[in-house]
Amino acid sequence: MTFYFSLNVSFHEFQRYYQGHVDKVEVHDSHGRKLWINGRHFRQFLTRSGVHGNFKLELGEKGELLSLQKI
């Protein structure tokens, strides 16, 4: 299954995920479906301004994360 969504989280806001105080990031895909994604998957996209952009998430048949890409 493939999902497309945008995310705009400031560096300050993302620190809660990075430090482990909060573990899931809530996003809504392009069809309005709510997704909960572990914040650790976004660490590679973190910049000094935070995590910003459009993303593509691919899940396997059992809901396992196959890939998360910034597009």
The pLDDT value given to residue 53: 96
Per-residue pLDDT tens over the stretch 18-70: 676 778 889 999 999 999 999 889 989 999 999 999 999 999 999 899 999 99
Fold of the CATH domain 2-70? OB fold (Dihydrolipoamide Acetyltransferase, E2P) (2.40.50)
Distance between CA atoms of residues 2 and 50, nearest Å: 24
State the DSSP H helix or E strand holding residue 12, giving kind and residue range, or none if neither.
helix 11-18
In the chain, domain spans: 2-70
Q: What is the pTM of this model?
A: 0.86
| Distance (Å, whole) CA 71 – CA 69 | 6
